[in-house]
Amino acid sequence: ETAVFQTPNYHVTQVGNEVSFNCKQTLGHDTMYWYKQDSKKLLKIMFSYNNKQLIVNETVPRRFSPQSSDKAHLNLRIKSVEPEDSAVYLCASSSLGGSAETLYFGSGTRLTVL
């Protein structure tokens, strides 16, 4: 099956802990993304990688760091979580070439910070 896979589906943790989310795509794409979706469903891009190189880095707190081992994997680490980090984190992938490439999304990781 070709798709975007995210683990875990849910994660509950306490303020100050470190968390790590995994994302893998089997679509053969060269570009991957992390989006944050808040409780009001607002979506904002956080990072984008093309062939393991960071190409988009929006203004996010330094405690967030993406990690890419190859073009099929893009993980997200949060060093010391805070309550406002509670959200759904969506991973996506696409091909970079072309004029209007489709993004394919995973089902998300829901983070709850107590």
Stretch that binds other proteins, among 11-19, 63-71, 78-86, 103-111 (CB under 8 A): 103-111
Count of residues near other proteins by CB under 8 A: 26
What is 34-71 written as a DSSP string? EEEE-TT--EEEEEEEETTEEEEE-S--TTEEEEEEET
One of 43, 51, 63, 82 touching other proteins (CB under 8 A): 43
Residues numbered 72 to 91 that lie near other proteins (CB under 8 A) are 90
> How many whole angstroms separate alpha carbon 114 and alpha carbon 112?
6
Establish if 50 lies at the interface with other proteins (CB under 8 A). Answer: yes
Q: How far is the CB of 37 from other proteins (least distance, A)?
A: 9
Tokens of 42: 């607002």
